[in-house]
Amino acid sequence: MAESTVTLENTLIALVEGKKYTALRDILITMNSADIAAIFEEIAEEKLPILFRLLPKELAAETFVEMEPDAQELLIRGFSDNELKDVVDELYVDDAVDIVEEMPANVVKRILRQADPEMRKMINEILQYPEDSAGSIMTTEYVNLRPRMTAAEAIKRIRRTGVDKETIYTCYVTDGNRRLIGMVSIRTLLLAEDDAVLEDIMETNVISVSTLEDQETVARMFDKYDFLALPVVDQEDRLVGIVTVDDAMDVLQEEISEDFEKMAAITPSEKPYFKTGVFETWKQRIPWLLILMISATFTGMIITSFESALAAQVALTAFIPMLMDTGGNSGSQASVTIIRGMALDEIELSDMLRVVWKEGRVALICGLTLAACNFVKVLLIDRVSIYVAAVVCLTLAGTVFVAKLVGCTMPMVARRLGFDPAVMASPFITTIVDAISLLIYFQIAAALLRI
């Protein structure tokens, strides 16, 4: 798949270079908008408007939606008012909102001026909802039916009005006050008798979300319930929009990228890798590096306070990195497992004791295994005294035990305090565990080696 796209890309670029626009158009119209957008992104900016004008209206609008904000802005600035209107008219309202959110104010003004009044009203409505809320990712273009309609009437209505709706596969039934009272899939409508009345065949236990619900919660509901669309209601239970599965998938990917970044001590960004500048990337990374570097001061202080012990037993220093790393890795394993388990709702805050009980036992046997293997290795390869070996291995077992307990509890404590558990991944766990492992090390060394 990836291979064939790359070859096609080269062919298309060659056609662009050779100005073979008719041949180019013939190929482009057979392609999917996502693929066209990917190829357009690779082509020199100044060619973009020419290429874009080759596409038929609908495909042009679909491709436009798939492009990156900077390319979109470039295109809009090159569009005549009529061209812009053609694109805006073809957009679904949620896509229009996504675009408007990324554009500078003067471009937004131009877009809204070209949108027809109804579209403009819907865009403005959705823009009012807070970022990352269900309201901000919903569309207001859905099929709305009445409880007294028959299946045949409903299908007729869908045929008449369906073109402009983002999905016609799930239809919503509302009462006179716009309150959501039921849901009916087009499948049910098609398989029902023509004269079946909606209120008899509709699903009345409709799962809906409030406009202010967090978008991640909404996305996870799609995952859990296998929905194609989910209705969004206001405080009075009135239907105001729907979220569709494609947008839910985008949110899921975005949130997962955010988790990955947080877990690596990076301030999340929504931009693709090559779209962030060097300085921007630096800004995402440096605060956490600084905080973690300063936190490591404690570890340094612990070593300093045991300086004389280390001077007496220089061999002890050589094991510091191994002890710290193994502790860090053990803690990270536990914390990442818990972070992911909480994200998937497999682990609740109320499970704290069960988690500690399980991790404690895992930690015990992990620690003992590692200590045993290390004891053999240290005696055979490093050839230290049996006392030093004992100190190192006891520390190892203790560190792994503490590290796993710290690793499994910190993400839950973070969630409890209202923070994202993802920040309690490797970097922070490692910093905490480092200090603890050194304390254990020097205490055991002092006791066993009398230094």
Residue 404 C-beta: closest distance to a copy of itself, Å:
9
Per-position b or e across 128-165, b if 16+ CB within 10 A of its CB:
ebeebbbbbbbbbbbbebebebbbebbbebbeeeeeeb
Site stretch for a copy of itself (CB under 8 A), options 42-50, 116-124, 174-182, 352-360 = 352-360
- Amino acid in position 431: T
Residue 174 C-beta: closest distance to a copy of itself, Å:
19
Kindly identify the residues of this chain, within the stretch 364-393, that bind a copy of itself according to CB under 8 A: 365-366, 369-370, 373-374, 377, 381-382
Q: Report the Cα–Cα distance between both ends of the chain, in Å, rounded.
A: 65
Interface with a copy of itself, residue 222, by CB under 8 A: yes
Residue 402 C-beta: closest distance to a copy of itself, Å:
15
Kindly identify the residues of this chain, within the stretch 177-206, that bind a copy of itself according to CB under 8 A: 186-187, 190-191, 205
Kindly identify the residues of this chain, within the stretch 396-425, that bind a copy of itself according to CB under 8 A: 400, 425
Q: Of 351, 336, 342, 323, which Cα lies nearest the Cα of 407?
A: 336
Q: Is the dihedral of CA 97, 102, 105, 110 positive or negative?
A: negative
Kindly identify the residues of this chain, within the stretch 122-161, that bind a copy of itself according to CB under 8 A: 155, 158-159
Residue 177 C-beta: closest distance to a copy of itself, Å:
22
Interface with a copy of itself, residue 285, by CB under 8 A: yes
Question: Is 72 within 8 Å of 107 (Cβ atoms)?
Answer: no
Kindly identify the residues of this chain, within the stretch 296-325, that bind a copy of itself according to CB under 8 A: 296-297, 299-301, 303-304, 307, 310-311, 314-315, 317-322, 324-325
Cβ within 8 Å of residue 49, ≥6 positions away: 75, 78, 79
Interface with a copy of itself, residue 337, by CB under 8 A: yes
Interface with a copy of itself, residue 273, by CB under 8 A: yes
Whole-Å CA distances, 159 to 252, 378, 433: 32, 77, 63
Taking the C-alpha atoms of residue 373 and residue 396, their distance in angstroms, rounded to an integer, is 11
Interface with a copy of itself, residue 11, by CB under 8 A: no
Interface with a copy of itself, residue 230, by CB under 8 A: no
Interface with a copy of itself, residue 32, by CB under 8 A: yes
